[in-house]
Structure 1
């Protein structure tokens, strides 16, 4: 593997302006989003992993959300994006006032994120099983353009790994040595098939670097997301217990 192989132990190098909010502000930001069809429990399970990625792992600049050398973050499990919008607002991508109109006709903040309307959103998502294949294509595209700095991060829920498209993407990425590609699986025990052990075995068998993390422990998530993985894509299995029933 060449010297350009990715090592995620590197911390973000983009300029870091003082963010307007911190992690403790997220519940208040999320509370501003009201209405039906919020998928609040599903959204809650992603909150900590989303925060850790945007606060200390991803190389992103809210002032230049389309910078060519940015990392790409793809939220595959896009239904119930309340925590995603709250994190984007907290990090300076969105005006928090937009949260009050969540899901309304005139609002850019729909029940599924729209990449053409929301700064920092890379893909319009919501249909399960699309994000990881898109992540593979994004990593291949960056490689073809000679852009070896940007990393690609995909976040899925454990139930998404029921979709066959993800297994094809896992196999291809491992065989292709797509070391710019990273996968965070937030496991809240909602999958129909398999369990955490079978998912881990499946990902490892496809040739990925793999580690586990407590999906509520920020230090453990940072450790898991910044492990070196020379020549291989990297996956983090983040176990969470939903804070709400349903």
Structure 2
């Protein structure tokens, strides 16, 4: 399903994921800002970092804790062939099987998402179990900065640090935004890396929209075998789509006019065309 990709290939895939996100959300609204912003992390995770199992799935395991970040997964699944883009356009429709916050057992998802703080705990338990089995599987968990306000995140961090879970990597989407406004003004969670270090994690803080930095952080995590790793990914809503980012910088959930969605799509189509030309030239 996946092989190691070049930076240029991953950047192109991230652009396709951004376009998929806007296409999916423009039908009836959605968490488009998060999906667009997380495309770089998702492209690196799904198309470079996690080992495929040879049967259309992955050897490694990924837990996405935030319901609103599922849109990033869906945008990747369209590229992986797990869902068609036509199916994904039913996102958030009545009776859809493409839920905004997927449940355990839905194709592509390990856990029921959206109960903030649950994913880190479950990922730590999964990583502990995989280590006991000697499976060699690595476990990745995506969580948000606002989610760090949940106490059970830190219970899980205590457990992971105590058991030195070197097969566990937490990816913190640090966009300084939660449903009620800016995270720093509601209940600051900074300094994030230092807090995780105090719980026994190896830490890296990166630009979450820089594919070279993301890949370097994954390499760093693989070099650490005696403690879990927390990668703090600083992102901004709609990063990579200038029009939507400029017009909706604080849109936790976006309803927009058709003209705004279309301008976002047009911008991404132009970037994809330029990216394809670079690929062909190389």
Alignment-derived partner of residue 213 in structure 1: 206
Once residues 226 and 158 of structure 1 are traced to their aligned partners in structure 2, the CA distance between those partners, rounded to angstroms, is 23
**Could you tell me how far 1:98 is from its partner in structure 2?**
1.1
What RMSD over aligned residues (CA atoms) do the two structures have, in Å? 2.4
Answer yes or no: is 1:105 the counterpart of 2:94. yes
Once residues 65 and 20 of structure 2 are traced to their aligned partners in structure 1, the CA distance between those partners, rounded to angstroms, is 22
Answer yes or no: is 1:242 the counterpart of 2:229. no
Answer yes or no: is 1:43 the counterpart of 2:43. no
Once the two structures are superposed, the pairs formed by residues 1-246 of structure 1 within 5 Å of their partners are 16=3, 22-33=13-24, 34-36=26-28, 38-61=30-53, 63-65=55-57, 70-118=59-107, 120-147=108-135, 149-190=136-177, 191=183, 192-196=186-190, 198-227=191-220, 228-243=223-238, 244=245, 245-246=249-250
Q: Assess if the C-alpha contact under 8 Å between 1:63 and 1:93 holds in 2.
A: no
Q: Assess if the C-alpha contact under 8 Å between 2:4 and 2:49 holds in 1.
A: no
Deviates more, 1:81-90 or 1:181-190: 81-90
Q: Which has the larger helix fraction?
A: 2
Structure 1 gaps of 5+ residues are: 1-13
Distance change (3 Å), C-alpha of 1:32 and 1:63: farther
**Could you tell me how far 1:136 is from its partner in structure 2?**
0.8
Deviates more, 1:33-42 or 1:75-84: 33-42
Give the TM-score of the pair, scaled to structure 1. 0.83
Q: Assess if the C-alpha contact under 8 Å between 2:41 and 2:208 holds in 1.
A: yes
Give the TM-score of the pair, scaled to structure 2. 0.73
Distance change (3 Å), C-alpha of 1:74 and 1:80: closer
Once residues 104 and 155 of structure 1 are traced to their aligned partners in structure 2, the CA distance between those partners, rounded to angstroms, is 25
Once residues 179 and 47 of structure 1 are traced to their aligned partners in structure 2, the CA distance between those partners, rounded to angstroms, is 25
Alignment-derived partner of residue 3 in structure 1: none
Larger radius of gyration: 2
> 1:189-246 CA distances to partner (integer Å, 9 max, x unpaired)?
12332344x2211100111111111110001001011211121111101111223322
Q: Assess if the C-alpha contact under 8 Å between 2:148 and 2:189 holds in 1.
A: no
Once residues 15 and 218 of structure 1 are traced to their aligned partners in structure 2, the CA distance between those partners, rounded to angstroms, is 17
**Could you tell me how far 1:80 is from its partner in structure 2?**
4.9
Structure 2 gaps of 5+ residues are: 178-182, 239-244, 251-282
Distance change (3 Å), C-alpha of 1:45 and 1:15: closer
Once residues 174 and 214 of structure 2 are traced to their aligned partners in structure 1, the CA distance between those partners, rounded to angstroms, is 13
**Could you tell me how far 1:93 is from its partner in structure 2?**
2.3
**Could you tell me how far 1:142 is from its partner in structure 2?**
1.4
Once residues 80 and 238 of structure 1 are traced to their aligned partners in structure 2, the CA distance between those partners, rounded to angstroms, is 14
